[in-house]
Amino acid sequence: GTSRNVDMSRSESDLAINIKKATNIEETAPKRKHVRSCIVYTWDHKSSQSFWQGMKVQPVLADEVQTFKSLITIHKVLQEGHPVTIKEAQSNIGWIESLSRGVIGDGARGYGPLIREYIYFLRAKLQFHKHHTEFNGLFEYEEYVSLKTTNDPNEGYETISDLMTLQDQIDSFQKLVFSHFRHGLNNECRISSLVPLVQESYGIYKFITSMLRAMHTTTGDDEALSPLRNRYEGQHHRLVRFYYECSNLRYLTSLITIPKLPADPPNLLSEDGEAPALPRRPVQPEPEPTPP
């Protein structure tokens, strides 16, 4: 085979150490190398069960920083881990929700509202993926397997609308993060939660743009699509603002490239302009996922 040569006997205990270090008590970003190891683990083993088990034995409720860091870690593993991670996460929603029990009110260091909003967002994200299994955790454009929903306008309308709801949730969460920066601190831990939000919002944006374009082409019904168009334009302006604010955070710009959107939303009725192009149709269709 061409898979990696992994020492399976060691990887389980290594995973436990990586989870522990990614979610430690220090008020910093979860260290990328430890988060990466968790992600790589799910690909090597095509399973995330040990990741969830490893998370559950950590004392993440004992400290609000630890709780917040574990939510960031979970979000990153959902985004970049093996696709089975999102499926297996569905049965861990209850546990994720229980993470709000660790902090009362604002919490000593102000993470209370952020933790509750993060849990609310992750639950919405998992709900979305449960109904739309064709999307991966990062809504990655180049990996999208089909635009099949645009062939069925009703289904396409619903998918776009659900994507927009998720985009709105990212927007309210990022606003909350910005409003909880503490003066005089470097805010690294809070800022690091913006990394997956920037990536996810851009993936969703690119999808919505190309799906809406495809819908306009296939249905030719500009009138029926106008509510979605209006909503799209509002979201475009909010995203421009979000990315602009992110571009002023040096810690963030050193880690990821902040997308640059045109000031005005692209014209969805034409193929030109600065919007991302339509993804190519797949050469071979992916096999249908088997129902759980």
Would you tell me which residues interact with another protein (CB under 8 A)? 2-5, 31-33, 36, 39-40, 43, 80, 82, 142-143, 195, 254-256
Q: Toward another protein, which CB reaches closer, 16 or 240?
A: 16
Question: CB of 268: closest distance to another protein in angstroms?
Answer: 25
Q: Toward another protein, which CB reaches closer, 93 or 138?
A: 138
Question: CB of 42: closest distance to another protein in angstroms?
Answer: 9
Q: Toward another protein, which CB reaches closer, 21 or 123?
A: 21
Residues 87 and 261: their CA atoms lie apart, in Å, by 32
Sign for the pseudo-dihedral over CA of 220, 226, 232, 237: positive
Question: CB of 84: closest distance to another protein in angstroms?
Answer: 13
Residue 239's region, left for phi above 0, alpha for psi from -120 to 50, else beta, is: alpha
Residues 154 and 266: their CA atoms lie apart, in Å, by 23
Question: CB of 2: closest distance to another protein in angstroms?
Answer: 5
Q: Toward another protein, which CB reaches closer, 46 or 56?
A: 46
3-state secondary structure of 92: helix
Long-range CB contacts (within 8 A, 24+) of 6-13: 6/44, 11/41, 11/44, 11/45, 12/50
Q: Toward another protein, which CB reaches closer, 40 or 228?
A: 40
Question: CB of 97: closest distance to another protein in angstroms?
Answer: 28
Q: Which ranges constitute the DSSP H helices of the chain?
A: 8-22, 32-45, 49-56, 64-80, 84-89, 93-98, 112-131, 153-179, 188-192, 194-219, 226-247, 250-255
Instruction: Report CA-CA distances (Å) from 26 to 39, 58, 69, 214, 221.
Output: 21, 15, 9, 47, 54
Q: Toward another protein, which CB reaches closer, 80 or 171?
A: 80
Question: CB of 34: closest distance to another protein in angstroms?
Answer: 11
